[in-house]
Structure 1
Amino acid sequence: MEKAKFSFIKGFAHIEVWPTGSYQQYLPKGSVTARLNGHWLQVGKYLSTSVAQYERQRANQK
């Protein structure tokens, strides 16, 4: 590939998009502690659902 053509294509790889508005709508809501607590609560729900499903499957196999 020609050097000029390569430089042109390489230049497009470094284009940055500048926002026209505020990033406020994309920032997480609430404190870090509250968000982490929410995530761990969700993990607990997933685990309890999985354990219950596993126990039902095991009971059906017997």
Structure 2
Amino acid sequence: MFKILVLQALSNLSDDQAGSVIQVRLSLMRLPGLSLSEKVPDAKPNRLLKKALAHRLWS
């Protein structure tokens, strides 16, 4: 999941866009360690991870 956040930051993608881009581009599935048979996480886990990281950093 953290690698997906890095991809989002580098590519300036929203949570929803990140999932779509990873599904379309097979080369990007390798970055977070997903195989072709695995489902790409939707936007909700990305949002929750961002919220948790922000809470830890700023608390």
**TM-score normalised over the length of structure 2:** 0.30
Higher relative contact order (CA 8 A, sep 6+): 2
